[in-house]
Amino acid sequence: MPKVLIATEKPFAADAVQKIKAELEKAGYEYSFLENYTDKSELHNALADAEAVIIRSDIMDEEAFNSAPKLKIVVRAGAGYDNIDLKAATAHNVVAMNTPGQNSNAVAELAIGMMIYIARNKFNGKSGTELSGKTLTLYGFGWVARYVAKIAKGIGMDVYAYDPYLQDDVMLKEGVKPLHSVEDVFKLGDYISLHIPATEETKKCVNWNLLSLVKEDAVLVNTARKEIIDEEALLKVFAEKKKFRYVSDVAPDNSAEILELYPDRVFFTPKKMGAQTSEANTNAGIAAAKQIIAFFEKGDTTYKVN
């Protein structure tokens, strides 16, 4: 029976781990867990006899694939697969998958939570503002953005979205107003929430051309990836728009500098934790296990990304 490695530098919740184990045991699969590892060599050693691996943000690069001679499938329990070298996966005849939608509600709740936290001055007791009646613009309209829209509409926000890969009816069906230019996302939003993947095309795409357009007191929300931000432009917008604020689950490389300069106008989670809920871990972990079983039993390659 196939051997499955679950390699999570940032572990799943304990109850999610039990459920993933039960799923694999039901299918008669062998498994082992590598959690909280501190060096990539530990991952590479663990990959030596794995035929399948479930990961989170763990790095599957050329070196990792070279250490995994028996590997047939890697499933990223989550949405973003920028941590997998897809070319290397293909070159090693490994199928790469993600589990779209499974952890999205958790990330959306964190995005909204950070908006409330900054609107209320980090709960310091001083009079803040409400989200109700404000305009929220979403850059990208995938799973997380749709959950954000649903919660934001419940709060009473006016929600717009821009997604160059989608037709208007997808947004309209969710009660969200479609935008037709990325500039409008940055011009219109009181809150601007980023929901695009990190790819060659999107790296540093949130640049000065876009950031220069934001309202004086706009709040930028990033639960996506730090790589999509042009960090020099971010510093510039803080300097030029005196009430601009930034909340992020994926702190920029220059976070220490920004925190020192603008302590009241930023919030960064200490460690990326958008998907850190028991529910998200369970949903994504079980989906990953099921996808591996369906792949070996039926050749099912739904959710293949390479």
Q: State how far the Cα of 79 lies from the Cα of 62, in Å rounded to an integer.
A: 21
Which pair of structure tokens corresponds to residue 109?
């709740």
Of the candidates 87, 47, 42, 84, which has an alpha carbon nearest to the alpha carbon of residue 67?
Answer: 47
- Taking the least distance from each CB to ligand 3PG, the nearer of 139 and 160 is 139
- Taking the least distance from each CB to ligand 3PG, the nearer of 78 and 189 is 78
Q: Which stretch binds ligand 3PG (CB under 6 A): 84-92, 118-126, 268-276, 296-304?
A: 268-276
CA torsion sign, 257 to 258 to 262 to 267? negative
For 49, which DSSP code? G
Q: Give min distance, CB of 111 to ligand 3PG, in A.
A: 12
Among positions 91-130, residues that touch ligand 3PG (CB under 6 A) are: 103
- Taking the least distance from each CB to ligand 3PG, the nearer of 214 and 251 is 251
For 279, which DSSP code? H
Residue 300 phi/psi, 5-degree rounding, is: -70, 120
Q: State how far the Cα of 231 lies from the Cα of 66, in Å rounded to an integer.
A: 34
User: Strands 191-194 and 266-268: what pairing?
Assistant: unpaired
Are the CB atoms for 195 and 148 separated by under 8 Å? yes
Of the candidates 190, 174, 170, 183, which has an alpha carbon nearest to the alpha carbon of residue 211?
Answer: 183
Contact with ligand 3PG (CB under 6 A): which of 52, 64, 79, 266?
Answer: 79
Q: State how far the Cα of 265 lies from the Cα of 253, in Å rounded to an integer.
A: 17
Per-position x/- string for 275-294, each x denoting binding to ligand 3PG as judged by CB under 6 A, each - no binding: x-------------------
Considering CB under 6 A, how many residues would be counted as binding ligand 3PG? Answer: 10
Among positions 51-70, residues that touch ligand 3PG (CB under 6 A) are: 56-57
The answer to the question of residue 226 lying near ligand 3PG (CB under 6 A) is no
Per-position x/- string for 182-221, each x denoting binding to ligand 3PG as judged by CB under 6 A, each - no binding: ----------------------------------------
The answer to the question of residue 78 lying near ligand 3PG (CB under 6 A) is yes
The answer to the question of residue 80 lying near ligand 3PG (CB under 6 A) is yes
**Binding site residues, ligand 3PG, CB under 6 A:** 10, 56-57, 78-80, 103, 272, 274-275
